[in-house]
């Protein structure tokens, strides 16, 4: 009963402002700070960031830097404790949550996996529309799932899950199917949190090469500890202890030398050094 009686932390606007997006929006974090309910420490503080429409954006930082909290605010799971998030100039708190969520495509590390028929397990990325098999296959090709799906006895009509007498995908195959589901969703804002953690290196490279060709109507936000994927982003934000400490392209961040040598360059060189031994 305590759970059932819990009051929502997000309060819906009585007169929401409709966005009616037709392409990726500009998103601005304006002096955003956040404390989790009941907490007395700041998970984020004085955050000022601009997500340019259509860019591939990287979020970098050690564990506890605030990356996941930032995403929760962007998805409006929580509202900022201070400051505001603007979407095309409109405060996110003034937008109907259901409308905002309709523009998002999100894949967290603990992604959901569904034991449906394969084509439906991908098409559930857009549950409000009829399944389009052509788009399903295009999404599977981008996620590198098409190859193993074609090897299955019933291809895209293959039932998944041993509990239902179907095929049991490996962990890496399930991750590729989940990436295909997000690609199929064709969202204006795509958020990928360590999306290829269980994928082999060759497939990972092909997936990110394919993501380079995403529509300009999509903003992709990538959270990863693998700098070989992050360096392909147009713009990179570096977080530390809940604060934005650096931003720029990979080349711009790597140019910092000597006393100006940044956290990004240090982390990148540390990871790169392991491959030089």
DSSP state for residue 6 in the 8-state scheme: P
pLDDT at residue 277 in the model: 59
| Length in residues, the chain | 277
Residue with tokens 């031994």: 277
Inform me whether the pLDDT recorded for 263 exceeds 90.
no
Average pLDDT over residues 98-115: 89
Mention the CATH class of domain 108-186: alpha beta
Inform me whether the pLDDT recorded for 82 exceeds 90.
yes
Q: Say how many C-beta atoms besides its own lie within 10 A of residue 88's C-beta.
A: 14
273: helix, strand or coil: helix
Instruction: Supply the CATH classification number for the domain 53-79+96-103+191-272.
Output: 3.40.50.300
Q: How far apart are CA 239 and CA 243, in angstroms?
A: 5
Segment 193-247, tens digit of pLDDT:
877 766 777 777 777 777 776 777 899 999 888 787 888 889 999 999 999 999 9
Average pLDDT over residues 184-200: 83
| pLDDT grade for 268, boundaries at 50, 70 and 90 | confident
Q: Say how many C-beta atoms besides its own lie within 10 A of residue 112's C-beta.
A: 10
| pLDDT grade for 180, boundaries at 50, 70 and 90 | very high
144: helix, strand or coil: coil
Q: How far apart are CA 178 and CA 201, in angstroms?
A: 17
Out of 28-37, 158-167, 252-261, least confident range: 252-261
**Of 105, 107, 103, 126, which Cα lies nearest the Cα of 25?**
103
DSSP 161-189: -GGGTSB---HHHHHHHHHHHHHHHT-SE
Q: How far apart are CA 95 and CA 92, in angstroms?
A: 5
Rounded to the nearest 5°, which phi and psi values hold at 271? -70, -40
Q: How far apart are CA 21 and CA 29, in angstroms?
A: 19
Inform me whether the pLDDT recorded for 185 exceeds 80.
yes
57: helix, strand or coil: strand
CA angle (122, 125, 127) in 5-degree steps: 110
Strand partners, 54: none
More confident residue, 154 or 110: 154
For the chain, the helix, strand and coil percentages under 3-state DSSP, each to the nearest 5: 35, 20, 45
Task: For the chain, give every domain's residue range.
Answer: 53-79+96-103+191-272, 108-186
Helix (H) or strand (E) holding 117: none
Q: Say how many C-beta atoms besides its own lie within 10 A of residue 28's C-beta.
A: 16
**pLDDT above 90: percentage of residues in the chain:** 64
| pLDDT grade for 153, boundaries at 50, 70 and 90 | very high
Beta-carbon contacts of residue 180 (< 8 Å; ≥ 6 apart): 122, 125, 136, 139, 140, 142, 143, 145
């Amino acid at each position: 009963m305590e759970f059932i009686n819990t009051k929502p932390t997000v309060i819906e606007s009585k007169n929401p402002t409709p966005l009616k997006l037709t392409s990726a929006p500009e998103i601005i974090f304006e002096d955003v700070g956040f404390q989790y309910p009941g907490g007395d420490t700041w998970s984020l503080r004085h955050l000022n960031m601009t997500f340019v429409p259509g860019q591939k954006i990287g979020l970098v930082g050690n564990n506890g830097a605030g990356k996941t909290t930032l995403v929760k605010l962007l998805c409006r799971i929580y509202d900022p404790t201070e400051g505001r998030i603007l979407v095309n100039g409109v405060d996110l708190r003034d937008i109907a949550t259901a409308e905002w969520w309709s523009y998002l495509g999100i894949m967290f590390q603990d992604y959901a996996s569904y034991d449906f028929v394969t084509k439906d397990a991908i098409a559930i990325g857009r549950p409000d529309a009829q399944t389009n098999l052509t788009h399903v296959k295009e999404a599977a090709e981008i996620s590198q799932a098409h190859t193993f799906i074609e090897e299955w006895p019933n291809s895209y009509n293959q039932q998944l899950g041993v509990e239902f007498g179907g095929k049991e995908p490996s962990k890496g195959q399930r991750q590729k199917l989940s990436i295909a589901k997000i690609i199929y969703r064709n969202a204006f804002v795509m958020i990928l949190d360590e999306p290829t953690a269980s994928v082999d290196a060759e497939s990972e490279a092909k997936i990110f090469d394919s993501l380079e060709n995403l529509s300009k109507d999509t903003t992709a936000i990538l959270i990863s500890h693998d700098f070989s994927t992050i360096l392909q982003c147009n713009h990179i934000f570096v977080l530390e202890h809940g604060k934005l400490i650096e931003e720029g392209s990979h080349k711009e961040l790597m140019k910092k030398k000597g006393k100006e040598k940044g956290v990004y360059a240090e982390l990148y060189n540390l990871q790169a050094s392991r491959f030089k031994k």
